[in-house]
Amino acid sequence: AQSVTQLGSHVSVSEGALVLLRCNYSSSVPPYLFWYVQYPNQGLQLLLKYTSAATLVKGINGFEAEFKKSETSFHLTKPSAHMSDAAEYFCAVTMNTGFQKLVFGTGTRLLVSP
């Protein structure tokens, strides 16, 4: 079975500061990993995904994540936070064979202060 753990239900940064949202996964087989963002009263939007190609994945809005097998991590980063980045972020995992449901972490709410 797969699972993901997101450390920190809330992360606060100042505008212009580095954003780091942590995600660790557990999977018995090579996983596919995703980061989704959810703005208030909206559905989920895919930021980026890892599907066993490059370990450093670049996504939309300047976000990127690095797959580190040795650390079972897939942390999300952005060099400089913008006010519009304030949202809830979900890490998700699935297996890379057949269909398996997306298993989501509990989410991290990013707060950006001016």
49 binds other proteins (CB under 8 A): yes
Of the candidate spans 14-22, 54-62, 76-84, 98-106, the one that interacts with other proteins by CB under 8 A turns out to be 98-106
Measured from the CB atom, is 62 or 107 closer to other proteins?
107
Backbone angles phi, psi at 112, to 5 degrees: -120, 125
Measured from the CB atom, is 35 or 112 closer to other proteins?
35
- What is the full DSSP assignment across 47-65? EEEE-SS-SEEE-GGG-EE
Distance of CA 9 to the CA centre of its chain: 13
Residues lying near other proteins in the complex (CB under 8 A) are found at 32, 36, 41-46, 49, 51, 90, 92, 94-107
